[in-house]
Amino acid sequence: MRLFRKNEMAVSPVIGVILMVAITVILAAVIAAFVFGLGGQQQAAPTASIVAANQPDTPAIDMKIQHKGGDTLKAGDWKLSIVAVGDSPAYILSNSTGGALAVGNQIITGYLTNDTTVANYNLNNSALNLSNPISQYMMVSGQKYDVKLVHVPSNAMLLDTVVEVR
């Protein structure tokens, strides 16, 4: 004869209640993250058509980077890298004054951006010049160069191409 019996009827409802509480807490956390913006906001990337090409109508060895259409890139909001193919990108930031890149603007340059004296660069919407040009940072005819233009606030790549200068 059994004197006492185990009562196992309450196990299932207790586990069910615990699972429901856990699901409710998780849902509340996800909804709070969206409502209070805990995920952070990233600035939307501008829409811009930027092209880079060899500059064949000049006797100098250079390339032209042109804004063909879309949003204007504000001064200080974009950076440019021009390096030999295979080299790591070396970005220089556009000037905060005169560095806006609007539709129709272009940059004509014969220099690379991986100069160690980056402070000597003047990057605006018309030219990329060195105050003291060093021959190893000048473009060479027949060489291919990796050209990248990045919108800094959104970290969006607006131009990523290879150009062969002649």
- Note if the pTM is more than 0.85: no
Q: Is the pLDDT of residue 120 over 50?
A: no
Q: Is the pLDDT of residue 46 over 80?
A: yes
162 contacts 142 by C-beta, under 8 angstroms: no
Tell me: the pLDDT tens digits for 81-95?
A: 999 999 999 988 887
What integer best gives the mean pLDDT of the chain?
81
Distance CA 44, CA 113 (A): 27
Q: What is the mean pLDDT of residues 58-69?
A: 86
Residue 70 has what pLDDT?
94
Return all residues near 106 (Cβ < 8 A) that are at least 6 apart: 64, 65, 66, 67, 125, 126
Distance CA 138, CA 152 (A): 26
Q: What is the mean pLDDT of residues 18-39?
A: 87
Residue 11 has what pLDDT?
66
- Residue with more model confidence, 166 or 136: 166
N- to C-terminal Cα distance for the chain? Answer: 103
82 contacts 112 by C-beta, under 8 angstroms: yes
Q: Is the pLDDT of residue 139 over 50?
A: yes
52 contacts 148 by C-beta, under 8 angstroms: no
Residue 110 has what pLDDT?
83
Residue reference for tokens 């607006």: 158
- Cβ atoms < 10 Å from Cβ of 103: 13
Residue 119 has what pLDDT?
40
52 is written with which tokens? 């880079």
**What residue ranges define each of the domains in the chain, with the CATH number in brackets?**
48-164 (2.60.40)
- Residue with more model confidence, 12 or 9: 12
Q: Is the pLDDT of residue 128 over 60?
A: no
